[in-house]
Structure 1
Amino acid sequence: MKFISWNVNGLRAIVKKNFGETFQDLDADFFGVQETKLQEGQIDLDLPGYYQYWNYAERKGYSGTALFTKHKPLNVIYGIDAPDFDHEGRAITLEYPDFYVLTCYTPNSGSGLKRLDFRMGWEKAFLAFIQKLDAQKPIIFCGDLNVAHTEIDLRNPKTNHKNAGFTDDEREKMTHLLAAGFTDTFRYFNPDATDRYSWWSYRFHARDNNAGWRIDYFITSNRLQPQLQKADILDQIMGSDHCPVELDVDGLTV
């Protein structure tokens, strides 16, 4: 079963580029999207054979997630059951007989780390949410988690230390999450891989120079490790400042 995640940085903009063709070519069972930047009724996306689920931010043109799937879920959960954080459209969870799948757009700490406290609160609430799900059945979650976990997850760790996405606080939260029983699937298959990134600034020809960050993830409950088949970063696919990431998992019931 194939899972794709992509921060499209504005769905209406990317639809005018290559999104429809890329979506068809990838032919995923589940396709999570982050940073849709739209409100209900602002787009009519024709995706034959897919159920569509949307979570919109209250603020117009900001944040937002979507999850498209070939498989009708038993249940849909919008947000992370935390009123302080559920007004920005940052998460959607689908329930199936023996697993959950979730798309997530973690808050960026922002310039000057002005939203770091908000981000830390989100991290606490999000971990509590996924642990509650994980206690019932395994979880697969994806998205732009806005953190490069280790120094090999970005091109320039020294100059970016203490910048948003590479602060000690953010990295420690990721370490804590993984230690709670979850697997960073790309690192599971590629523990020492370098120069593999999923986001590049639009400035300074960063993508041309591969001066990027790996901040888009598929993370699963540890007990799914025997079923993991492949995790990849699809860095040849253009259209956004992020590229899609992929996970293939065997033996799931839908």
Structure 2
Amino acid sequence: MKIVTWNINGIRTFRNGIKKALDSLDADIICVQETKVTRDLLDERTAIVDGYNSYFSYSRGRSGYSGVATYCKDQATPFAAEEGLTGLLTSHDGAVRCYGDHTEFSNEELQLLDNEGRAVITQHKINCEGEARFVTVINVYCPRADPEKPERKQFKLQFYKLLQCRAEAILKSGSHVIVLGDVNTSHKPIDHCDPNEIDDFEENPGRKWLNGFLHIDQDNHETNEEKVEEEHEAQVNHSGARKFVDMFRFFHPTRTNAFTCWSTMTGARQTNYGTRIDYIFADCQLAKEHFVGADIMPEVEGSDHCPVWGHLSCSLIPSLKPPAFCTQYLPEFTGKQQKLSRFLVKMDQKVPQSNIFESLPGSQEEEERRENLIPSGRGEKRPAESVLPKAKKTKTAKPQGNLLAFFKPKTVNVSSIESTDKECKNNLNQGEMNSTQNPSVNPRATDTAAPSCESKEDRKTVKVDSSTSQTLTHASDSKKGSVFWKSVLKGPPPAPSCKVHGEPCVLRTVKKEGPNVGKQFFVCARPQGHSSNPEARCNFFAWVEKGK
């Protein structure tokens, strides 16, 4: 049995499809965090994957935020599954149950803790040396303690407490438990790229919680099994509760620079300047008796996190039918409820209007497409008058013109121009005859009237001169406008070179709220790294002076 956890930083970022990503991990149970998808945005291609059954939890308050999902291969189909840690989101059969003591939480706190889509629980049956047992997998995306929002620190600690309460309650029921996912806290200094830069590293509340949740400090792998066994026996004899083991440190207690998360803003993955905040925790008996390996996969890209895997010696016993919480039972994927996107599919214009409203098999896309092209299996067209009732008459709609037609220059009728020219010439000739025949006619009147009947060539010259004048005017105005905007929008200042590498710096803007928010500064363009790494970013820093 192989299990994988991975914070994917958006499930819709898999351009080649989720199935290819799942297959590449080659695991029976794949738990992903930070899906950033809500139910209304979940498409069938992501939810229903051939060879897998899936279980999703979504954020109720914000779109594109949080969210976790568990994909199980068909041979690892769980016997029970549910969303959340509190039980408040569970109203169906086939739930895991065992919620523990919630007396320390108010009803409002419990609802808020499950409202962000941070947990999916699946329960599986495994064959361990001929004995069938249950193992419960708790897939979690723990909150981040935003330093600018003090209330989130308390929210994170409450989530940890609720997670431990639920995990230990399931353990007491007799099932093995695996807790895995993005815990958002690096445990020991060895799990952090630069712990010395953090004040009171060991005093962090999240690390203190991990110290209590993980029952031993694994310093030496050879003595791990003895410590696990002793601790397990002591806890079972006294409290009945069995705590948890960090499986990566169980197998790699002294490995350094083993990180699972890196900042994308600073390019820190290039220098491996990160933290280990993604874990697989297992109860100590399962860790001691059945885990045969665990490791991280930093070579797998596609997210700011990398996957973590664990391997157990026992085999899975699949359920014959997925539990009720399975995504494939959602109405929008069973044909019982059509999604809005279904009604926005572009229809064939040649299909008679009356045929569009015939019933379609909603859950079979190929059959639906075939029905849309050839309604009810008939290829003939109905007469147009059969679409509407005979008693009603409709006005013939006038064809609507193209909007672009209103912006085209009006076409001039050449024949009308020629007739106007002939009329002008006739009038001019008639005027000359009149002045010759009748000496009383004033020649000046004829001269002043003559320019109104100039030839086509003359008119073209006048128009060209006018157009040229306007063009010159517009060019002059455009040039003035360009000069004005250049004086207002000066663009970014030239980048200085950093002192250590002599390379052009990059421009950054302060986004953190405070007196410097919005101000710009230059820093070294290299990726962030430890101060001892010559290939990493140097400490060059320079504010952008106002007016430059």
Give the TM-score range, shorter chain.
over 0.9
Kindly report which structure 2 residues correspond to 1:80-119, keeping only aligned pairs within 5 A, or say none.
Answer: 80-81=85-86, 82-97=110-125, 98-112=134-148, 114=150, 115-119=152-156
Aligned to 1:152: 190
Matches of 1:249 and 1:172 in 2, distance apart? 29
Confirm whether residue 207 of structure 1 aligns to residue 258 of structure 2.
no
Aligned CA distance change for structure 1 residues 51 and 20 (closer, same or farther; 3 Å)? closer
Letter in 1 for 2:170: L
Q: Which of the two has higher C-alpha Rg?
A: 2
Letter in 2 for 1:74: F
Kindly report which structure 2 residues correspond to 1:161-176, keeping only aligned pairs within 5 A, or say none.
Answer: 161=199, 168-176=204-212
Kindly report which structure 2 residues correspond to 1:1-254, keeping only aligned pairs within 5 A, or say none.
Answer: 1-13=1-13, 15-16=14-15, 20-42=19-41, 43=43, 44-45=45-46, 47-58=49-60, 59-70=62-73, 71-81=76-86, 82-97=110-125, 98-112=134-148, 114=150, 115-136=152-173, 137-161=175-199, 168-179=204-215, 181-225=243-287, 226-254=289-317
Matches of 1:128 and 1:245 in 2, distance apart? 24
Q: Is the 8 A contact 2:37 2:58 kept in 1?
A: yes
Matches of 1:240 and 1:195 in 2, distance apart? 18
Q: Is the 8 A contact 1:99 1:252 kept in 2?
A: no
Classify the secondary structure of the residue corresponding to 1:247.
strand
Deviation at 1:248, TM superposition (A): 0.6
Matches of 2:203 and 2:148 in 1, distance apart? 11
Letter in 2 for 1:181: K
Q: Give % identity.
A: 31
Deviation at 1:159, TM superposition (A): 1.4
Q: Is the 8 A contact 1:55 1:92 kept in 2?
A: yes
- TM-score of the pair, normalised by structure 2: 0.44
Aligned CA distance change for structure 1 residues 170 and 134 (closer, same or farther; 3 Å)? same
Deviation at 1:89, TM superposition (A): 0.5
Classify the secondary structure of the residue corresponding to 2:157.
helix
Classify the secondary structure of the residue corresponding to 1:147.
coil
Q: Deviations over 1:47-83 (max 9, x none)?
A: 2110010000112111000000012211112111132
Q: Is the 8 A contact 1:3 1:29 kept in 2?
A: yes
Classify the secondary structure of the residue corresponding to 2:181.
strand
Greater fraction of residues in helix: 2
Greater fraction of residues in strand: 1
Matches of 1:18 and 1:113 in 2, distance apart? 36
Matches of 1:80 and 1:252 in 2, distance apart? 27
Q: Is the 8 A contact 2:261 2:276 kept in 1?
A: yes
Q: Deviations over 1:105-133 (max 9, x none)?
A: 00000133621111111111111011111
Deviation at 1:141, TM superposition (A): 1.8
Matches of 2:189 and 2:309 in 1, distance apart? 22
Letter in 2 for 1:111: P
Matches of 2:17 and 2:272 in 1, distance apart? 21
Deviation at 1:190, TM superposition (A): 0.5
Deviation at 1:162, TM superposition (A): 5.9
How many aligned residue pairs are there? 251
Letter in 2 for 1:9: N
Matches of 1:48 and 1:78 in 2, distance apart? 22
5+ unaligned residues in a row in structure 2: which ranges?
87-109, 126-133, 216-241, 318-548
Instruction: Tell me how large the CA RMSD over aligned residues is.
Output: 1.8
Deviation at 1:20, TM superposition (A): 4.2
- TM-score of the pair, normalised by structure 1: 0.93
Matches of 1:138 and 1:236 in 2, distance apart? 31
Q: Is the 8 A contact 1:51 1:68 kept in 2?
A: yes
Deviation at 1:149, TM superposition (A): 0.1
5+ unaligned residues in a row in structure 1: which ranges?
none
Aligned CA distance change for structure 1 residues 161 and 238 (closer, same or farther; 3 Å)? farther
Q: Is the 8 A contact 1:34 1:143 kept in 2?
A: yes
Classify the secondary structure of the residue corresponding to 2:113.
coil
Q: Is the 8 A contact 2:19 2:50 kept in 1?
A: no
Deviation at 1:18, TM superposition (A): 7.6
Moved more, 183-192 or 35-44: 35-44
Q: Is the 8 A contact 1:64 1:89 kept in 2?
A: yes
Deviation at 1:96, TM superposition (A): 2.0
Classify the secondary structure of the residue corresponding to 2:121.
strand
Structure with greater contact order relative to length (CA < 8 Å, sep ≥ 6): 1
Letter in 2 for 1:77: E
